[in-house]
Amino acid sequence: MTSVERKIVWEKWKDPYDEKDEWFPTKNNNKKIKPEEFLEEEEEEEITFEQMPQIFMANLGMSPVDRPPSIGKIFNFWTGHTSFSISAPIAAKIEGIEGVEILDIYTRYRFRVGIGRLFQDREVMNDIQRAIRSVE
């Protein structure tokens, strides 16, 4: 068996449900309008169920229901893509690193960490890289 250097490539995690994220292009994508297009009539937008504010009825009347904030706004998530299998000892080593709030193992070669706000992203990522080198 050959020994492969353990590498991690980091990518900022993007919330797939965040509608403001670049994964979801908006209808008004800031395109420039030509002067001749000003004369064209605009399409009327239909109001869909998702655009309507959600409310619930209570004893004191109607109350709006706010959506909870996106988890990506609460935590500082990074995805790690590895050149090695993420075993139980490696996962335990990552969880033990100062600054790691959350560890989610997605696949054999991919994981997500939530880094605490009072820690520097790069320092925590470098600590993870150093720690996994010592795991057998």
Dump the DSSP string for the chain: -PPPPP-EEEEE---TT-TTSTTS--S---PPPPGGGGGSPPPPPPPPTTTSPPEEEETTEEEE-PPPPPHHHHSEEEEEEESS---HHHHHHHHTSTTEEEEEEEETTEEEEEEPTTS-HHHHHHHHHHHHHT--
Given a cut of 90, whether residue 97 has pLDDT beyond it is yes
pLDDT for position 91: 95
pTM, 2 dp: 0.62
Mean of the per-residue pLDDT values for the chain? 78
What's the confidence (pLDDT) of residue 62?
Answer: 75
Rounded to an integer, the average pLDDT of 92-105 is: 95
pLDDT score, position 2: 45
pLDDT at res. 74? 77
Mean per-residue pLDDT, 69-91 = 88
Per-residue model confidence as pLDDT tens digits over 38-67? 455 555 566 555 556 677 777 777 777 776
Please write the tens of the pLDDT for every residue from 6-34: 899 999 988 777 666 554 445 555 555 55
Question: What is the domain partition of the chain in residue ranges?
Answer: 1-9+53-136
